[in-house]
Structure 1
Amino acid sequence: MIRSLHQNSSAMQLLLDKINVTSNNLANVNTAGFKKKGVFFQQLTGAEQALARDGIVKEMPAGQIAVYTDYSVGKLTYTGNSLDIALQGEGFFTIETPEGDKYTRNGNFSLDSNQNLVTAEGFAVKGEAGPVKITGNDVVIGKDGTVQADGEAINKLMIKKISNDQLVRVGSNFYVPKEGAEVEDISASGILQGYLELSNINIVSEMTNMIATQRHYEANSKVIKSADDTLRQINQIGR
């Protein structure tokens, strides 16, 4: 019975993490460029389990909960806003922040009071000639990322490629490379002005997962409560 309690407790932790991740996905369903997360139970080898126990003999799950990111491209939608930019295929926009460069697929940009192209958080969008500053009225962004204002080329968007397994999510929609990861310059050829990449979240699928996960959580909770009541009765009999 004790082993069963540990197993149900581990299952509840996994289910709770799934609920939290799914809630975050649903909260960002309308966030441009957002990549959904998922949860799975990763099996551990006997040696890894022993290391996790640190030599202590006790019941532990034979695995650990891991969160992954689905980097598949979201649907591209036309907005007509000249400062909205979408990337077709691989790559990330390079964003200048106080903590250093970060990367995103969210091309929902605007101009700040100094005419700098910025993210919703106010961080500058970087180009090959430095932060992109637009002083003209007629803004054209080519498929290769070249930025023109009133017919004059003023900069070119800095697009970087980083392997998905070398990315670390920072906040909800920014990424940084793992230490030692290779960050490649790539020649963009599929940049679309006036478009945004939507999140890759299927709201129906996420809602279905949420309902199913909550039901499983409640079922495990009832099992633990029943086992706890049984153990309490056994202890009372033994007195």
Structure 2
Amino acid sequence: MDRIIYTAAGGAARVLEQQAIISNNMANVSTTGFREQMAIHRSVPVVGQPGMPTRVSSVTMTPGSYMGQGAMVETGHALDAAITGDGWFSVQTPQGEAYTRAGEFAVNEQNLLVTQQGLPVLSADGAPVEIPERGSVTFTGDGQISALGAGDNPNDIQLIGQLKLVNPPAENMVRGDDGLFRVAGGQAAQADPDVRLVPGFVEKSNVNAAEAMVGMIANARRFEMQMKVIQDASSNAERANSILSTN
């Protein structure tokens, strides 16, 4: 009876963990540049005190993310850009360089190009991108940034830098707690001249809302099944105890 309860309780715990991951994906359906988080179950041997294996448990893992392209939505905003195909924007964080697909940029009070979270966007030379005061910005397909200052002659447009666009192998990318990606090992990725972007567009989340909803419903049913097994095991134990009772 103990084995039944142990197995069902372990299964219910794994279902709840997977449900949390799916719920997080569902909550980010509208998040620009979000990458769907994957979840799998794997077995883990349980080792007793003397070092001998006793039984096998299981854990839920998030081995990576689905890197497929999200939907491209035209915004018409000069500071918006979306990467087409593989690649990442580079940003500066307190923990070092990180990478994102979210191209909804803005200009902060220090005239730096930043993300919606206020993180400086990096240029190809690894420095923050400085925008002329009240200047209008234009991106090109290879990430070059041109700006025209307020009141300047349209012919005086100047090239102020180039975005650092990178494309490290997907298997080397690790998602952080802040939702940004970093290269495993902590080193900075090299700029890739083959990465291309589309100005005036943003890339939406690559989470399929319908599939996420179906997954949540399926997990709810699996959890109910595990709870039913535990209830049945408890009822069977009570019946067995009543039969063995001498009173």
Assess same fold via TM > 0.5: yes
Match of 1:103 in 2: 99
Does residue 53 (structure 1) correspond to residue 47 (structure 2)? The answer is yes
Contact in 2 for aligned 1:83/1:110 (Cα 8 Å): yes
> 1:204 Cα deviation (Å)?
1.0
Match of 2:61 in 1: 66
Match of 2:32 in 1: 32
Match of 1:9 in 2: 9
Question: Structure 2: how far apart are the matches of 1:144 and 1:118?
Answer: 19
Contact in 2 for aligned 1:96/1:124 (Cα 8 Å): yes
Match of 2:236 in 1: 230
Distance 1:180 1:112, change over 3 A: closer
Contact in 2 for aligned 1:32/1:198 (Cα 8 Å): yes
Aligned with 2:55: secondary structure? coil
Match of 1:201 in 2: 207
Listed one character per residue, the Cα deviations across residues 184-211 of structure 1 (whole Å, up to 9, x for unaligned) are 3200452111111110011111111111
Name the aligned partner's letter for residue 94 of structure 2: P
Show the 5 A alignment for 1:149-228. Answer: 149-150=147-148, 151-171=157-177, 173-179=179-185, 183-228=189-234
Aligned with 2:25: secondary structure? helix
Distance 1:171 1:88, change over 3 A: same
Match of 1:93 in 2: 89
Match of 2:129 in 1: 132
Name the aligned partner's letter for residue 86 of structure 2: E
Does residue 147 (structure 1) correspond to residue 145 (structure 2)? The answer is yes
Match of 2:151 in 1: none
Question: Structure 1: how far apart are the matches of 2:237 and 2:117?
Answer: 53
Listed one character per residue, the Cα deviations across residues 144-187 of structure 1 (whole Å, up to 9, x for unaligned) are 10000012000100011222221211135301111176823200
Gaps of at least 5 residues in structure 2 are 149-156
Name the aligned partner's letter for residue 162 of structure 2: K
Q: Normalising by the residue count of structure 2, what TM-score does the alignment of the two structures yield?
A: 0.86
Aligned pair count reads 232
Listed one character per residue, the Cα deviations across residues 104-133 of structure 1 (whole Å, up to 9, x for unaligned) are 111111111111111121110000241111
Gaps of at least 5 residues in structure 1 are none
Contact in 1 for aligned 2:86/2:195 (Cα 8 Å): no
Identity of aligned residues (%): 28
Aligned with 1:224: secondary structure? helix
